[in-house]
Amino acid sequence: MRSGLTLVLSLALTGALLGMNFALHRIRQAAPAADPERKLTVTTKRLVRNLPPPAAGIAAATNPPPFHWSVLESPDYAIYAANLRAVGCPERTVRDILLPDIEKLYTERRAELADGPEDRFWETADQRDARQRAREAKLRSLELEKRALIRQLLGADWNFAALKELRSDGLASGLMEVLLGFTDVGKTEHLFLTHELFQDEVRAQQMVTEGIVLDEDLPKLQALRDGFEAALARGLAPAEVEELRLRLAALEGMEHVQRRNGVAVTGAELREIARLRADTHDMLAKALNMDDELYPDEVRTKGEAAFNELLRRFLGAERFADVERAKDGLFRELFQSTEKQGVAKAALVQAYEARRAAEEQARQIRADAQLSSEERSVLLAALRAQTTQALARSLGPVVFGAYLKEHGQQFTNSLSLPVTRARADLQRTDVITVK
């Protein structure tokens, strides 16, 4: 009797174990394989907005139908968003689903506004501009429509293109990381998107005005600039807005203030200099590329003069002179390539001043209308030879030779260039590279 019971129990256990094995087998088949190379074939329907949910008859009444994405999708974005939220989809993911979809929709609508196949080659600039302005106005209207839709669905002014740029792996996003890296990632997004939004507004305004600012436009521009500041303040703490202002100042117009360019400053001093610049220039207007329009020339000139005076007082006369020299690309090049060879700063400054004096002489020779072309050429060549010798004396022949090897002969050759090329060359070398 006991043996019978044991057999029954053992058979029951066998059944249970068989069932568990079968269930586990199914789970293993359903789950992705853990092999290094997993293979999965997905058959799916693309962009099926109106597809009904899988037929109810497929599953038994007691076994509810498996969940399918099509249950969430709807041709109506508001319903699509509500459905996603109803199943607990995180808000960021709702955004990442809807934004590209909306962008695609509006990309197609923008494409419809492209020029047709008509031959429009024989048009004047006016005719082309008028057509372009009409098209830009339609694009702007589409953009505003898209923005309103996004605001309605997501509750904020998200911008897909700006997010994409921020998320890209390129130089621009790298620079943003350096510039805005003092905040957390969420605040960086807020900052960047706010900037893009207001910059768009400024561009739209410039398109309407064709870049011609009437006095009556100034309050609108001022309101845009103030709106930008207020929007930044909504997402950032006051200290963060201040840090942003200072970093923008460091990036714009004072990139040369570095020890590598012969200006001995500490990090704390550089930050203080950035504050002086930010107090004398409207960094937020500059960030929106509207300071030229918002402020007359004389106001900007006064701002620059005030900054220079404050900087001179802060650094003292000697270091202020270093800053002035470092504005010149030729000096920076000379300093960076000779400093590591142990050239005394005094010798370097002497060589640079000799070069500057020669440049002034060359300018006078080129401007002298009494000279014939040949006479001018002879004088410029002589000036070049004389300057080359003076530089070699100041720096020493070895260092000067090494400099020429590294940077070519432009430092002296440009002295003897003819009038037109010298002008172009000067423009090129005087540009301060914005990094």
Partner 1 sequence: MNLRGYILGTVAANLALVGALLWQGARLPAPGARGGVSITTNIVTEFAAEASPRPAVVSVPGSPPFRWEQLESTNHLLFLTNLLAIGCPPETARDILDARVADDFRARLRELTRPFQARFWDVAAGDREFDELFKEPELERQIESLKAERRRVQAVVQAVGGRGVKEGKPGRNEQVAHLPDEKQTALAELEARQSKERETMGRELAKAPPAERAAKQKELRDRVMAERRALFTDAEWDEAELRRSPQARQVRELRGYAATAEELKALARTLREFDTTQPRPARAPGDSDADFKSRQDEREAQRKAFLAARLGEAGFAAFERGSDPRFHTLLKLARRLEQPAETAAQWLEVQRTAQEQARLMRENAALADDARAVALLAIRAETERTLQAAVGPRGWGAYLRHAGDWLGQLTR
Is residue 259 at the binding interface for partner 1, with CB under 8 A as the rule? yes
Is residue 344 at the binding interface for partner 1, with CB under 8 A as the rule? no
Is residue 136 at the binding interface for partner 1, with CB under 8 A as the rule? no
Structure tokens that stand for 169 in this block:
């792996």
Is residue 212 at the binding interface for partner 1, with CB under 8 A as the rule? yes
> Which of the ranges 191-199, 245-253, 341-349, 394-402 carries the binding residues for partner 1, by CB under 8 A?
245-253
Is the Cβ of residue 203 or residue 393 nearer to partner 1 in the bound state? Answer: 203
Structure tokens that stand for 92 in this block:
């960021």
Minimal distance, residue 414 CB to partner 1, in Å: 22
Contacts to partner 1 from residues 280-309, by CB under 8 A: 296
Minimal distance, residue 384 CB to partner 1, in Å: 22
- Residue (of 291, 192, 272, 196) closest to 236 by Cα position: 192
Is the Cβ of residue 178 or residue 305 nearer to partner 1 in the bound state? Answer: 178
Give me the amino acid identity at 286.
Answer: K
Q: What is the dihedral of CA 230, 235, 240, 242, to 10 degrees?
A: -10
Is the Cβ of residue 336 or residue 350 nearer to partner 1 in the bound state? Answer: 336
Is residue 74 at the binding interface for partner 1, with CB under 8 A as the rule? yes
- Residue (of 180, 187, 311, 170) closest to 247 by Cα position: 180
Q: Residue 56, exposed/middle/buried by CB under 10 A (0-12, 13-18, 19+)?
A: exposed
- The CA-based angle 342-343-346, given to 5 degrees, is 140
Q: For 168-214, where are the alpha helices, taking DSSP H only?
A: 171-180, 185-209
Is residue 333 at the binding interface for partner 1, with CB under 8 A as the rule? no
Q: Is the torsion defined by CA of 75, 76, 80, 81 positive or negative?
A: positive
The tokens 């930010």 sit on which residue?
A: 278
Give me the amino acid identity at 361.
Answer: Q
Contacts to partner 1 from residues 348-367, by CB under 8 A: none
Is residue 25 at the binding interface for partner 1, with CB under 8 A as the rule? yes
Is residue 167 at the binding interface for partner 1, with CB under 8 A as the rule? yes
Q: Residue 2 — left, alpha, or beta (φ > 0 → left; ψ -120 to 50 → alpha)?
A: alpha
Per-residue binder mask for partner 1 (CB under 8 A), 80-119, x = binder: --xxx-xxxxx-xx--xx-xxx-xx--x--xx--xx-xxx
State the Cα–Cα distance between residues 181 and 172, nearest whole angstrom. 13
Is the Cβ of residue 11 or residue 233 nearer to partner 1 in the bound state? Answer: 11
Q: Which of 43, 55, 57, 342 binds partner 1 (CB under 8 A)?
A: 43
Structure tokens that stand for 398 in this block:
């070895």
Minimal distance, residue 20 CB to partner 1, in Å: 6
Minimal distance, residue 273 CB to partner 1, in Å: 9
Contacts to partner 1 from residues 174-203, by CB under 8 A: 174-175, 177-178, 181-182, 184-185, 188
State the Cα–Cα distance between residues 275 and 205, nearest whole angstrom. 30
Is residue 235 at the binding interface for partner 1, with CB under 8 A as the rule? no
Minimal distance, residue 219 CB to partner 1, in Å: 13
Minimal distance, residue 389 CB to partner 1, in Å: 30
Is the Cβ of residue 33 or residue 230 nearer to partner 1 in the bound state? Answer: 33
Is the Cβ of residue 353 or residue 375 nearer to partner 1 in the bound state? Answer: 375
Is residue 378 at the binding interface for partner 1, with CB under 8 A as the rule? no
Query: How many other C-beta atoms can be found within 10 angstroms of the C-beta atom of residue 335?
Result: 23
State the Cα–Cα distance between residues 410 and 334, nearest whole angstrom. 12
The residue count for binding partner 1 (CB under 8 A) is 127
